Amino acid sequence: MSGSPHGLPLRRGDAGDAVHDLQRRLALIGYSIDGDSQEFGTETEASLRRFQSDRGLVVDGICGPQSWNALVEADHRLGDRLLYYRDPMMRGDDVAELQRLLGQLGFDPHWVDGILGPRTDRAIRQFQQNVGLPDDGVVGRSTTDAFDRLAKQTRGQVTIAQVREHERLRRQPNRVEGRRIIVGDAGDLPVIAQAVARRLRQLGAEVLSFSTPDLSHQARTSNQWNGDIYLGVTLAVEDFSVSYFAMSGFESVGGRALAQRCSTALQPLLADTTPATAMRLSILRETKMPAVWCRIGPGDVVVPQAPRVARALADAITGWCLDPNPQ
């Protein structure tokens, strides 16, 4: 995302203009820090951790690219700026609010992910045509005013994306054979990811597997492959969880169900709990299918248990294929 400072990640002990910018952005969205310092101290870390927790990010007190981009996105509200389809695509909370309103009014942006892509552009133009505005795809004052007039009609309504996912889950075959499943890792747990993939292939599934830290590549390829579900795994030192995609106004029900199954399956094997957690990590928001991201650890527990962990995750996926509803 444009505007990212040099020197990421930022962490306790760092100082300079980039730290000051981080503190300013935190304060602008309600995570104030006493004083006007350019030093990344305990208060800055505590404010950043609160933001990460509220935002559904990894809570590590370190400002890496995901936390920085989330800070930039959180600074936007619908109506603050012109929204339109471009390259690179616009991102932000205002885009997510736009997608939610479009979906609740019956115009299909396909997903509520805060990324203004071609499908959101098409939904904007359809909305503009429907309310008698020029269908130029630009969300300016006249289009936001039209949303404001219709806002009362959207209260309590689900989005088209949610309806689509419910219907897809309802109609899916209750079997593993023939299902298109993606299994990935960030390059640190390939033994587990490969073992999960191997087990699922033995059960008759079509499996696409990755072992790369480029999670955006994993998401793009998974979408192009039109997979049914995505499961990712990485080794973590803290903030262990099995996360699924959710943000204001949208939740992946299928992702939540898979996260619950994976969390339950891992519980007897790991020293620390890995709760099913709603998050908005990029790998979850960019995959247009039920997806989970398993942050498991510590390494001295996970690595010796690798075969059992892999079998537990494969069994969780198998159970989800038979019944994809939340437990």
Question: How far is 152 from 118, CA to CA, in rounded Å?
Answer: 27
Does any domain span residue 82?
A: no
Q: Which long-range contacts (CB under 8 A, 24 or more apart) does 45-49 make?
A: 45/11, 45/12, 47/23, 48/22
Please tell me whether residues 205 and 309 are part of one structural domain. Answer: yes
Domain limit, last residue, from 102, 131, 163: 163
For the entire predicted model, the pTM comes to 0.87
Q: Given this model, what pLDDT does residue 108 score? A: 93
Q: SS3 for 274?
A: coil
Does any domain span residue 273?
A: yes
Does any domain span residue 87?
A: no
CA 150 to the chain's CA centroid: 28
Q: Is the pLDDT of residue 2 over 50?
A: no
Percent of the chain with pLDDT over 70: 97
Q: Given this model, what pLDDT does residue 271 score? A: 82
Pick the residue with more confidence: 285 or 35?
285
Name beta bridge partners: 247: 250
Domain hosting 54: range is 17-74
Q: Is the pLDDT of residue 89 over 70?
A: yes
Please tell me whether residues 69 and 101 are part of one structural domain. Answer: no
Interaxial angle between packed helices 306-322 and 190-202, expressed in degrees from 0 to 180 and rounded to the nearest 10: 40
Domain limit, last residue, from 26, 43, 74: 74
When the pLDDT of each residue in the chain is averaged and rounded to a whole number, the result is 92
Q: Which residue in 264, 291, 265 sits closest to 278, CA to CA?
A: 291
Please tell me whether residues 144 and 55 are part of one structural domain. Answer: no
Please tell me whether residues 180 and 313 are part of one structural domain. Answer: yes
Q: Is the pLDDT of residue 4 over 70?
A: no
Q: Given this model, what pLDDT does residue 249 score? A: 74
Please tell me whether residues 195 and 305 are part of one structural domain. Answer: yes
Count of structural domains, the chain:
3
Q: Kindly report the CATH number assigned to the domain that includes residue 67.
A: 1.10.101.10
Please tell me whether residues 111 and 189 are part of one structural domain. Answer: no
Q: Given this model, what pLDDT does residue 6 score? A: 63
Does any domain span residue 8?
A: no
CB within 8 Å of 62: residues ≥ 6 apart: 9, 10, 11, 48
Does any domain span residue 185?
A: yes
Please tell me whether residues 133 and 255 are part of one structural domain. Answer: no
Please tell me whether residues 315 and 210 are part of one structural domain. Answer: yes
Q: Given this model, what pLDDT does residue 111 score? A: 87
Domain limit, last residue, from 163, 186, 220: 163
Q: Is the pLDDT of residue 176 over 90?
A: yes
User: What DSSP string runs through 3-25?
Assistant: TPPTTPSB-TT-BSHHHHHHHHH
Place of tokens 């099913």: 276
Q: Kindly report the CATH number assigned to the domain that includes residue 224.
A: 3.40.630.40
Please tell me whether residues 300 and 177 are part of one structural domain. Answer: yes
Is residue 309 within 8 A of residue 297, CB to CB? The reply is: no
For residue 109, name the pLDDT band (cuts at 50, 70, 90). very high
Q: Dihedral of CA 22/235/293/208: which sign?
A: positive
Please tell me whether residues 145 and 224 are part of one structural domain. Answer: no
Please tell me whether residues 181 and 269 are part of one structural domain. Answer: yes
For residue 3, name the pLDDT band (cuts at 50, 70, 90). low
Pick the residue with more confidence: 110 or 200?
200
Q: What is the pLDDT of residues 226-273, one digit of tens each?
A: 999 999 999 998 889 999 999 877 889 999 999 999 999 999 999 888
Please tell me whether residues 177 and 313 are part of one structural domain. Answer: yes
Q: Is the pLDDT of residue 157 over 90?
A: no
Q: What is the pLDDT of residues 184-235, one digit of tens each?
A: 999 999 999 999 999 999 999 999 999 999 998 999 999 999 999 999 999 9
